[in-house]
Structure 1
Amino acid sequence: MTVNSTPLTKDPIAEAALNWERHGWGEVAAPMAAVTSIMRAQQILLARTQTVLKPFGLTFARYELLALLNFSREKRLLMSKASALLQVHPTSVTNAVDRLEAAGLVERRPHESDRRALVLVLTDEGTRVAAEATEALNAEVFGQTGFEDGDVAQLNEILTRFRAQAGDFEAGDGVESPAGRDR
């Protein structure tokens, strides 16, 4: 499935790269095509995930929050910690929590010792939805990316290195990268 209903007859990104070269920007034509391809791939993959998550009443951002809570030891996290781990502004987490709370999937609770802090707690229904949505994503998106196994390993390695160099995380933080793992 693509975001377009009908595939284009030519690759518009390759055409753009040719235009870059024709206009004297040949030295950045390939990097422009790479950046644009990554952005387009993100649109395609996001559309796929949204299609799978729609029956659960979730967006990918809300799913990420549910999954994060579901993977936490006690199915609870400080709201500020969730924001940091998801690498989004606290306002974005608040918006997602508002929707998840209205759906009965999470609860906000005051922190036991810090009145200013809020704890997000996954409900039983949230645990169920997180598990079912994860199964659906694994079957319909993550297990069927359209990438070859070797491509997945190479993509993970390249993108992990890029993210570390961009300051997304500190390299050598002790977290094993999925870069070299087989699916």
Structure 2
Amino acid sequence: MKTGDLLARVQADWRAARPDIDATPMLTVIAVQRTSALLERELQAFFASVDLTPPNFDVLATLRRSAPPQGLLLSRLGTLMAITPPAVTKRIDALEARGLVKRHPHEADRRALLVQLTDEGRALVDALLPRHVENERRLLSGLDDAERAQLRALLVKLAASFEPSEA
């Protein structure tokens, strides 16, 4: 069922079952969740063509755009990606097994580990990035540039309303 049809049905059902309840917030959340699931499905299919997952590509892309030549601390990588240390480790383990990243000790703090792209990892990101951006452009093609900017601003505003404040 198309999202618009589903939302109309949910709204009609709630009006009939509980006319005293305004289901509008529920409809908005359902629309966001459905869109997120559809985008995730499309991204999974895109990255499967190179035997990656969207989260693993996110690691590679974050290293490509944010890492200095010596690499990033694992903790900094987790912060930039907003994921937990175990999630970072799991993703790095998978990418390291494929030869796309490597870990090495920090020169000044032997307890800390740095992670960096290998030549193969860098080449993969550089080759895949233009196709990825074009795929995302396709996924957003139902919106014009102004609508995309407005959607992005509204999603940032919504997320900020319940993200923890940084001290």
Asked if TM exceeds 0.5, the reply is: yes
Cα separation, 2, equivalents of 1:25 and 1:133 = 50
Aligned pairs for 1:63-142 (under 5 A) are: 63-75=57-69, 76-142=71-137
Instruction: Say how many residue pairs are matched.
Output: 164
Aligned with 1:137: secondary structure? helix
1:98-155: per-residue Cα shift (whole Å, max 9, x none)?
A: 1100111100111112222111111111111112222111112234423322221111
Query: TM-score w.r.t. structure 2 length?
Result: 0.87
Moved more, 82-91 or 62-71: 82-91
Structure 2: which 5+ runs fail to align?
none
Deviation at 1:22, TM superposition (A): 2.3
Structure 1: which 5+ runs fail to align?
1-6, 171-183
Equivalent in 14, 21, 29 of residue 35 of structure 1: 29
Aligned with 1:120: secondary structure? strand
**Structure holding more helix per residue:** 2
Aligned with 2:49: secondary structure? helix
Equivalence for 2:140: 145
Identity %: 32
Aligned with 1:11: secondary structure? helix
Cα separation, 1, equivalents of 2:139 and 2:3 = 24
8 Å CA contact retained: 2:100, 2:121: yes
Query: TM-score w.r.t. structure 1 length?
Result: 0.80
